[in-house]
Amino acid sequence: MRISELSRQGGAPVATIKFYLREGLLPPGEPTARNQADYSDVHVARVRLIRTLTSVGQLSLSAIREVLAAVDAAEPHVRDLSVVLNRAMFTDQVAANDIPGGDSARRHVDKFLEGLGWQVQTDSPGRQTLAHALAALRYLGWDVDAEVFLPYAAAAQTLARQEHAALPDEAAANVARSVLLGVALTALRQLAREDAAAS
């Protein structure tokens, strides 16, 4: 198909698709004539994925670039891209190293995760994000330790195991579900808080 048809099916303006091509987010089409190329359903799927990760998933283009590189490099039946995805999403996070107590919070978080028996890499970005959250809670005057996260960890583990048991074969679908279910969980927590306040 031509770029105009790719635009229609992918739901993005031609200018946006040209931008994706220039940025290397979208592989080039098959050249057919000077300044023309032929695109396939693979391109349609990729345009839809980029749009969705941007608008609903709120990922930056640089995070999406990292995720797509991992998707393209993945073995045909890679079962889980969670480590790569976590790293890519972390590039969107502002460094929060200026919150006092970060080092101590990090040690508590590491110990907490060890206590849970979770197998996560030492440099997994989630450790640092969790440490930032703990340091910030303390900094703002709540005298808690990492144990306050226990119910959240239990909920996260239940959901992650269910997700892992139903992982799609395809790497791109794998990434999309992970991001979108994360968006859904955040929305549901907001709604549940509203319900709890009203009940």
Quote the CA–CA distance of 23 and 2 in Å, as a whole number: 19
Residues 6+ apart with CB under 8 A from 50: 12, 20, 25, 26, 64, 68
Q: What is the β-pairing status of strands 36-38 and 30-33?
A: antiparallel
Q: Which residue in the set 18, 32, 142, 169 belongs to the binding site for its own copies (CB under 8 A)?
A: 142
By CB under 8 A, tell whether 100 contacts its own copies.
Answer: yes
The region of 17-25, 26-34, 63-71, 131-139 touching its own copies under the rule CB under 8 A is 131-139
Q: Which 157-186 positions form the footprint of its own copies (CB under 8 A)?
A: 157-164, 168, 173, 176-178, 180-186
Q: Which is nearer to its own copies, 27 or 54 (CB)?
A: 54
| 186: three-class secondary structure by DSSP | helix
Give min distance, CB of 114 to its own copies, in A: 12
The sign of the CA dihedral 85, 115, 163, 148 is negative
Q: Which is nearer to its own copies, 14 or 83 (CB)?
A: 83
By CB under 8 A, tell whether 9 contacts its own copies.
Answer: no
Closest Cα to residue 108, out of 158, 148, 152, 157? 148
The region of 17-25, 29-37, 68-76, 81-89 touching its own copies under the rule CB under 8 A is 81-89
Interface with its own copies: number of residues (CB under 8 A): 85
By CB under 8 A, tell whether 106 contacts its own copies.
Answer: no
Question: How far are the Cα atoms of 50, 89, 149, 183 from residue 21, in angstroms, in the given order?
Answer: 12, 22, 43, 27
By CB under 8 A, tell whether 124 contacts its own copies.
Answer: yes
Quote the CA–CA distance of 60 and 37 in Å, as a whole number: 27
| 26: three-class secondary structure by DSSP | coil
By CB under 8 A, tell whether 62 contacts its own copies.
Answer: no
Q: Which is nearer to its own copies, 36 or 181 (CB)?
A: 181
Q: Which 40-59 positions form the footprint of its own copies (CB under 8 A)?
A: 45, 48-49, 51-52, 54-58
Q: Which is nearer to its own copies, 79 or 107 (CB)?
A: 79
Quote the CA–CA distance of 85 and 172 in Å, as a whole number: 11
Q: Which residue in the set 33, 123, 140, 143 belongs to the binding site for its own copies (CB under 8 A)?
A: 140
